[in-house]
Chains A and B, each alone.
Chain A
Amino acid sequence: MKTAISKIQAEENFALGALKISGWLIVSVLIFIIGYIFYYGLPEVLSWHYLFTPPEGGRHDNGGILYQILATIYLIIGSLIVAAPIGVFAAIYLTEYAPQNFITTLIRFAIENLAGIPSIIYGLFGLAFFVIFLKFEYSLLAGALSVSIMVLPVIIRTSEEALKSVPQAFRQSSLALGVNKWQTISKVVLPSAFPGILTGILLSIGRIVGESAVLILAAGGSITAIPRFVSTTYPYVLPDSARTLAVHLYYQATSYDARAKAFATGVVLIFIVLFLNWCINQISKGYRKKLAVR
């Protein structure tokens, strides 16, 4: 009897110990990877020069990553201008309007599937549709449009969650005052869902920053000038192709004689992700506080 109990106790200790180890193992893997990247990349980044000088091209990748940073910012803005309104509007339709019919099911099915499509497929689509068929050539424009479709499901899903969490009573009391539906949505529902929607947008910024496969296929990789969305002299000159940080890291690690510098770009990318995560956590903290006050 006693041995049986101690056997159970031993099994219990072993199992719970294993669970604990697995949890901490993941944390240590993360710390190791980040530490490894920082160890080799941080000195270059801390010289600041690297961040604020334009790239010079060439096989040793002289110069810095200023244009790549700009391209990343432009890409974020460009794809969000398209994806954020469409995504939020689609979420509004799904939560506030959508009737239970075939078309709604179809829309939901499409969003589910878009979320599961790997980025390389978005890249192939961008290449076939925007670059070749619409003759955008390799350009920031083609890249931004492809990426905006990619982040659409992220924005729709998070906005939908946020809109659903707005209490039904808010809507009813607003409608009871004789205010119409759009006014209710714009004045009552959207403001209280705003933190959630912002979280979705920050999440999609994270995906845009980290994306590389789509952009290699649709945005090309020019680094000779500050990228522009639309060429000023369109029919005669190609719109600008551009290279974001993540794509640049790939080229540094494989195509340039400059693998060491890839770590520096990696450090910059990790810092961006850390910053975005911090923002998201701040928002959700603030949101929770607000709910608690209510």
Chain B
Amino acid sequence: MKFLRIKNIVLVFILVLISLPSFAGKNHITIAGSTTIMPVSEKWAKAYKKKTGIVVNVHGGGSTSGIKATQTGTADIGASSRELNYSEKDHLKQIIIGKDALAVIVNKSNQIKDLNIDQVRGIFSGRIKKWNEVGGPDKPIQIINRESGSGTRDLFTEVIMHIMLADKTNKVVPMCLSSIVNNSNAEVKESVKLIPNSVGYISIGYVDNTVKPLTINSISPTPKNVYDGKYSLVRNLYYLFKEENDKSVQSFLAYVLSKEGQLFVTKEGFLPIVENNARD
């Protein structure tokens, strides 16, 4: 009997524990998509909940699945680090919520300050194997790359690894495959910090005094150069949603674009949509 009673108590306890959370929050917005944007979305979700009480759920899954989830209605907002392509444009609207600029970084012990695009391409394609070929010491270069399919790697490939051939067609120079492959900005930064002869690329907001950003063609990766259009390793970050959406989504988007919302973009290492917010 005693055994049975304990069992019952445990059972009730378990049932209560499970049912409790399912009553929490009904009115909510769901965001799915790019994992690059996830940290910012999480920040917005947190602040927006504090402000209005509306719960915003944030899921990852990548840009493409975010776009699909928005089309089918499983998500209210899709987060994407690339522009919608032609077939995806039906019934979807997109807005820019921030910008992401990449900096090429090296270890602090490295003497090199500047590379031109050709040299960066040479290094990442594996043609340039030692730092002395670009004016550094006689040490092998350790490349740190992002994983295949990552939007950051796609952007880097698009801007740096594309070359125009004589007959005006585009060609992608394949990246060197014998590199370290990391899965996030923070991980690349940690690796570059740790390994003396390494080179990698990360969002400029992640650059701090533990690593050294390089200037490319003598243009340094600063927000000002990005807004002036001088620095080319930049992409837009998008939110997309159905044309006919409800008010709660609209007001969340308004919050995202407000001055307060854009502050989180800066905090998470990206650039706000308009320049003057960057200096706040």
A241:B59 contact, CB within 8 angstroms: yes
> Is B162 engaged at the interface, CB distance under 8 Å to the other chain?
no
B57:A257 contact, CB within 8 angstroms: no
Question: Which 6 pairs of residues, A with B, have the shortest CB-CB distance?
Answer: A57-B42, A255-B184, A228-B21, A257-B186, A224-B45, A254-B187
B269:A59 contact, CB within 8 angstroms: yes
Query: Which single member of A223, A227, A254 contacts B186 (CB below 8 Å)?
Result: A254
- Contacting B at CB under 8 A, from A235-259, are 236-238, 240-241, 254-259
B75:A224 contact, CB within 8 angstroms: no
- The answer for the CA separation of A229 and B18 in the assembled complex, in Å, is 8
From A39-47, A73-81, A86-94, A162-170, the one touching the partner chain is A73-81
> Is B196 engaged at the interface, CB distance under 8 Å to the other chain?
no
From B24-32, B122-130, B220-228, the one touching the partner chain is B24-32
> Is A230 engaged at the interface, CB distance under 8 Å to the other chain?
yes
> Is A226 engaged at the interface, CB distance under 8 Å to the other chain?
yes
Which residues of B are at the interface with A, using a C-beta cutoff of 8 A?
3, 14, 17-18, 21-26, 28, 30, 32, 38-40, 42-43, 45-46, 55-61, 69, 73-75, 182-187, 189-190, 206, 264, 267-269
- The answer for the CA separation of A58 and B39 in the assembled complex, in Å, is 4
Chain B residues whose C-beta falls within 8 Å of the C-beta of A56 in the assembled complex: 42-43, 46
Question: In this complex, what residue of A is CB-closest to B208?
Answer: A257
Question: In this complex, what residue of B is CB-closest to A242?
Answer: B21
- The answer for the CA separation of A52 and B185 in the assembled complex, in Å, is 28
Query: Which single member of B18, B39, B206 contacts A77 (CB below 8 Å)?
Result: B18
> Is A3 engaged at the interface, CB distance under 8 Å to the other chain?
no
Provided the pairs A77-B18, A259-B190 are in contact, do residues A225 and B24 lie with their beta carbons within 8 angstroms?
yes
A237:B30 contact, CB within 8 angstroms: yes
Provided the pairs A240-B57, A254-B184, A259-B190 are in contact, do residues A74 and B267 lie with their beta carbons within 8 angstroms?
no
Shortest CB–CB separation between residue B183 and chain A, in angstroms?
A: 6
Say which size band chain A's interface belongs to.
35 or more
Question: In this complex, what residue of B is CB-closest to A139?
Answer: B59
Chain A residues whose C-beta falls within 8 Å of the C-beta of B69 in the assembled complex: 238
> Is A200 engaged at the interface, CB distance under 8 Å to the other chain?
no
- The answer for the CA separation of A194 and B30 in the assembled complex, in Å, is 44
Question: In this complex, what residue of B is CB-closest to A237?
Answer: B30
Provided the pairs A224-B57, A238-B74 are in contact, do residues A74 and B42 lie with their beta carbons within 8 angstroms?
no
Shortest CB–CB separation between residue B245 and chain A, in angstroms?
A: 13
- The answer for the CA separation of A191 and B3 in the assembled complex, in Å, is 9
Chain A residues whose C-beta falls within 8 Å of the C-beta of B75 in the assembled complex: 238
> Is A172 engaged at the interface, CB distance under 8 Å to the other chain?
no
Query: Which single member of A57, A77, A194 contacts B46 (CB below 8 Å)?
Result: A57
- The answer for the CA separation of A255 and B268 in the assembled complex, in Å, is 13
A57:B182 contact, CB within 8 angstroms: no
- The answer for the CA separation of A257 and B207 in the assembled complex, in Å, is 11
B57:A220 contact, CB within 8 angstroms: no
Shortest CB–CB separation between residue A55 and chain B, in angstroms?
A: 8
Shortest CB–CB separation between residue B97 and chain A, in angstroms?
A: 15
> Is A222 engaged at the interface, CB distance under 8 Å to the other chain?
yes
> Is A263 engaged at the interface, CB distance under 8 Å to the other chain?
no
> Is A160 engaged at the interface, CB distance under 8 Å to the other chain?
no
Shortest CB–CB separation between residue B2 and chain A, in angstroms?
A: 11
A255:B183 contact, CB within 8 angstroms: yes
A57:B43 contact, CB within 8 angstroms: yes
Query: Which single member of A70, A194, A222 contacts B59 (CB below 8 Å)?
Result: A222
- The answer for the CA separation of A150 and B58 in the assembled complex, in Å, is 28
Among A59, A191, A238, find the residue whose CB has the most chain B CB atoms closer than 10 A.
A59
> Is A180 engaged at the interface, CB distance under 8 Å to the other chain?
no
B59:A59 contact, CB within 8 angstroms: no
Provided the pairs A238-B30, A255-B183, A255-B186 are in contact, do residues A229 and B45 lie with their beta carbons within 8 angstroms?
no
- The answer for the CA separation of A254 and B182 in the assembled complex, in Å, is 8
Chain A residues whose C-beta falls within 8 Å of the C-beta of B39 in the assembled complex: 57-59
> Is A113 engaged at the interface, CB distance under 8 Å to the other chain?
no
5 pairs from A and B in contact (CB 8 Å cutoff): A57-B43, A233-B26, A238-B30, A238-B74, A255-B183
B18:A74 contact, CB within 8 angstroms: yes
> Is A143 engaged at the interface, CB distance under 8 Å to the other chain?
no
Shortest CB–CB separation between residue B72 and chain A, in angstroms?
A: 10
